[in-house]
Amino acid sequence: MKLKEIVAKISQKIGLIFIGKFLEFNFYNKKRNTYLNERTIEYEFVLKNLCLHNCLDILDIGTGSNSFSSVLEHCGYNVTATDIKEGGGYWANFNNRHIYVIKDDITNSKIKSTFDAVLCISVLEHIPNFYDAVKGMVERLKDNGILIITFPYSHYQYCENIYKLKEADVISKSFRYIGQSFSRNEIDMFCKYFKLDVIDTQFAKGWSGAYWRTGERYDFPIKIENPIDANIGCFLFRKTKNK
């Protein structure tokens, strides 16, 4: 066995000891949840479509500290997880114990590979330069690859920052990042400028107000047929080679 492999195995065993203690502490000290968030609907949409469209190589944008990329790897997908992890601010304050996260900014990405699917789950709304972010995602798709993006959705009206709305909930007003809500106009723009087709959607509502984080929170998000009534949107785009 090579020295590098020996060091890796020893590091793994030591790491597992500390992670085990950390997980044990969290288990006995965590607060009991009283509601479900939008991920229940978003992840269902992602898993359904990755399987339906025979994807294998996946790029996940804005992985953060969550375990979904690791779950996808457990399913058999080849996952490249990325996040900006820089700046010393909010976006640098995470560690992912589930999967290795590559430091990369999708608005100016250094990743050269292309993928069957690019995922951006509840991340685009936090990127001020969302146009360049979507451009970067599309450039990393194989021909006929799929792009899955989910975000706060308001059919008729784009909102630059829902957290600053007068009717936003108290907690969101303290967030140190923006939360945009995208409209149908932005969807049409993505299709026009990046040669995309919308091939599947799922709309949902998790708050009683017109925008995400306004009104009263629903304990369980609900799927919505009419996009006009939704405040969360899940979109599946396909890159079309000769459009």
Partner residues linked to 162 by β-bridges = none
DSSP label of 24:
H
Residue 13 φ/ψ, nearest 5 degrees: -65, -45
pLDDT band at 85 (very low <50, low <70, confident <90, very high): confident
pTM of the model: 0.91
- Compute the distance between CA of residue 10 and CA of residue 104 in angstroms, rounded to an integer: 29
Proportion of the chain above pLDDT 90, given as a percent: 77
The answer to whether residue 11 scores a pLDDT higher than 80 is no
Segment 156-178 shows an average pLDDT of 96
**pLDDT class of 110 with cuts at 50, 70, 90:** very high
First-last CA distance in the chain: 52
pLDDT tens digit string along 183-223?
A: 999 999 999 999 999 999 999 999 999 999 999 999 999 99
Q: Measured at the alpha carbon of residue 228, what is the angle toward residues 222 and 230, in degrees to the nearest 5?
A: 25
Confidence of residue 90 (pLDDT cuts 50, 70, 90): low
| Cross-strand pairs, 90 | none
Residue with the larger pLDDT of the pair 7 and 108:
108
